Chain A
Amino acid sequence: VTHGQIASQAAWPWQASLQMDGTHFCGASLISATWLLTAAHCFDNQKNPKMWMASFGTTLRAPLVRRKVQSIIVHENYAPHKHEDDIAVVKLATPVLFSENVHRVCLPNATFEVLPKSKVFVTGWGALKASGPFPNTLRQVEVEVLSSDVCNRVYVYGGAVSSGMICAGFLAGERDACEGDSGGPLVIAQDQNIWYLIGIVSWGIGCGKENKPGLYTKVTHYRDWIKSKANI
């Protein structure tokens, strides 16, 4: 996360870290006691669930809870080095016990609409700037949803933004997700401060660069796919 701030303990209790050999690789969101939602590209190099571990809590070293991964389901149409259908569900070997600091995020219905200029938050343990250091404590940043029309402008992403993606950030740059935030949540608050997962950190050019906001997998677009795989 670039130009963000440290997150407090129970602020984003659904945030998970996907790790191999104790090293953080990707973010993920807890959507039930046994399922995580993340990005498919996190598994480009390693699809064996036995190699992966999920941790919860705001710090990577000294996590609150850790779980082994039982299975990984990547979207059937996803292809490495492409940006489409960048979504996967991960089943934990044993369910987590919910607490104030570890519990699930709400999934929106397929009809849930997010308007441009809506304030949303992205969180993660990703780099603090392009090719920069990685933090041990979870970070958060508030960004704005941008319309696909704006993001498809020639000088932004020139038509690469499809209907299964959501664009968020600022054309001026600075506040953005970055390397290592992939798979993590983009959330919006609705009535009564209830947070809904609307996006999964997917791709972008650089981090916090002018005219290069973040692109996220649009959760509502894949709502039926999630239901079919995780029954949630």
Chain B
Amino acid sequence: LEKPGTLQRRTHSLKPWMIFLITTAIVLALAIIVGLLVYFLEYEQTIHYYQASLQMPSIDYNPDFSVEHSKIKTDLKQKINNEIDKIFQRSSLHHHYIQSHVVNFRPNNHGLKANILLRFKFTSNNANTIKRQANEIVHNNLKSSESFLKIDTSLPYLTEVNGTQAEHVLNSCCGLGMEYPPMER
């Protein structure tokens, strides 16, 4: 006679040291994921571009403003960039502001109009706050009668511009290549 088979349990319980090891590994993995998320959200700053339109009622349009690299155009671009630099460098956003870049000039009913690109560096989760603050800073500073720049009331807000498109605009002027004469070492 055959001895009837006895059913054996196919599973066996984990040893305590294994449970400890698995728990530690899971906790470690979670900690790394959370750490990376915090790092990228809090510390990984990326470049953001905003477009703005400014008025210069005291300056009349001159056809040379449309001539690439003309002295009058280069000088006015520099003057505007200096003014915007000054505004942001003494503001609460001075750590985030990088630079401004005049894209073009256009004539309009109130003198001259300039389209500018503002470049900032900040973490993406701050985007809305920084955009609002930047907008307030521009508005508050250009309201004063001291500045030759005035806000364009027809376009009251800063508009975010996609990075590739902004780079295209920033590099649309001609002839920017090697620094010449090269620096002697």
Chain A residues with a Cβ under 8 A of chain B: 7-8, 10-14, 97-100, 102-107, 121, 140, 187, 189-196
CB A22 to nearest CB in B, in angstroms, measures 26
The answer to whether the Cβ of B26 comes within 8 Å of any Cβ in the partner chain is no
Pairwise interchain contact A104-B179, C-beta atoms closer than 8 A: no
Q: B153-185: contact bitstring with A at CB < 8 Å (1 yes, 0 no)? A: 000000000001101111111111111100000
CB A171 to nearest CB in B, in angstroms, measures 23
With A106-B68, A106-B69, A189-B180 known as contacts, the answer to whether A195 contacts B175 (CB < 8 A) is yes
Q: Tell which of A7, A106, A121 has the most Cβ of chain B within 10 Å.
A: A106
Pairwise interchain contact A99-B168, C-beta atoms closer than 8 A: yes
- Specify the chain A residue showing the minimal Cβ separation from B172: A98
Which one of B69, B169, B170, B174 lies within 8 Å of A104 (CB-CB)? B174
Given contacts A103-B176, A192-B74, 14 further A-B contacts (CB under 8 A): A11-B178, A12-B178, A13-B171, A99-B167, A99-B168, A100-B171, A103-B173, A105-B175, A106-B175, A140-B178, A189-B180, A190-B69, A195-B176, A195-B180
Query: Which bracket fits the contact residues of B?
Result: 10 to 19
Chain A at the B interface: SS class: loop
Name the A residues within 8 Å of B176 (CB-CB): 13, 103, 193-195
Chain B residues with a Cβ under 8 A of chain A: 68-69, 74, 164-165, 167-180
Pairwise interchain contact A10-B69, C-beta atoms closer than 8 A: no
Assembled-state Cα–Cα distance A102/B68 (Å): 18
